[in-house]
């Protein structure tokens, strides 16, 4: 299982990849955004636009604005997966009260991903406070590596180093995130099944 130590908590994670800004008409190229693993091609999001990811769960809906500026490859990959319906029916497999909720693993246990990773090295000033959405990775992966697993911070400050690609910030439904965040036991496992019914990205 993929794990990362953060203060007194351990977060399962999977990873992301770095690049320069490009228009939405361009596709990912190895020189701009190296893809490791399964070869995929997806359009880079337009940095001049604002994109919102909406996550509909069986416990309510929350939304977050994608951080295209700091993470062009990560956000573009996430949008691609969402448009392929990759996240639909996946669960939040790890819930650590007062820390994070984590999902996006097709295996449902912290070991899976989409078959490829990208990298967006986070800025040194990156902070992981309440409502920040970032990509999970293993402790051996380079900073900013991501696949499909993501986490939402539920505590005031997760105390994480700037190693996790920034995906965005919750703008609606933080109460839903916090409700989900209370459903973890001492083993950091959910006490109730929380399913992502639909994940969409607009525009």
Q: Tens of pLDDT along 105-162? A: 999 999 999 999 999 999 999 999 999 999 999 999 999 999 999 999 999 999 999 9
* Mean pLDDT in residue range 16-36: 49
Q: How many CB atoms lie within 10 A of CB 141?
A: 21
Region 83-97: what's the mean pLDDT? Answer: 98
Q: What is the rounded average pLDDT of the residues 35-60?
A: 95
- Predicted local confidence at residue 35, as pLDDT: 92
Q: Which two tokens stand for residue 19?
A: 């690049």
Q: What share of the chain is helix, strand, coil (3-state, %, to 5)?
A: 10, 35, 55
Q: Which residues contact 161 (CB under 8 A, 6 or more apart)?
A: none
When the pLDDT of each residue in the chain is averaged and rounded to a whole number, the result is: 88
List the domain boundaries for the chain. 3-202
Which residue reads 């399913």 in tokens? Answer: 195
- What is the CATH topology of the domain spanning 3-202? Cyclophilin (2.40.100)
Residue 52 burial (C-beta neighbours within 10 Å; 0-12, 13-18, 19+): middle
Question: Comparing C-alpha atoms, which of 119, 128, 123 is closest to residue 146?
Answer: 119
CA-wise closest residue to 169 among 188, 187, 151: 151
pLDDT for 31 equals 37
């Amino acid at each position: 299982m993929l794990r990362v130590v953060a203060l007194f908590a351990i977060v399962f994670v999977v990873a992301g990849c770095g690049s320069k800004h490009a228009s939405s008409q361009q596709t990912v190229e190895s020189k701009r955004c190296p893809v490791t693993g399964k070869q995929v091609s997806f359009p880079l999001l337009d940095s001049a636009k604002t994109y919102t990811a909406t996550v509909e769960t069986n416990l309510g809906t929350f939304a977050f604005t994608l951080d295209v500026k700091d993470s062009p490859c990560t956000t573009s990959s996430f949008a691609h997966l969402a448009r392929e319906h990759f996240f639909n029916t996946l669960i939040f497999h790890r819930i650590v009260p007062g820390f994070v909720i984590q999902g996006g693993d097709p295996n449902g246990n912290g070991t899976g991903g989409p078959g490829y990773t990208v990298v967006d090295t986070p800025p040194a000033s990156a902070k992981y406070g309440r409502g920040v959405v970032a990509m999970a990775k293993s402790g051996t992966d380079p900073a900013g590596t991501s696949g499909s697993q993501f986490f939402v911070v539920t505590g005031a400050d997760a105390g994480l180093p700037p190693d996790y690609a920034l995906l965005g910030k919750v703008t609606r439904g933080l109460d839903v995130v916090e409700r989900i965040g209370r459903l973890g036991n001492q083993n950091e496992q959910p006490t109730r099944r929380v399913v992502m019914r639909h994940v969409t990205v607009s525009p």
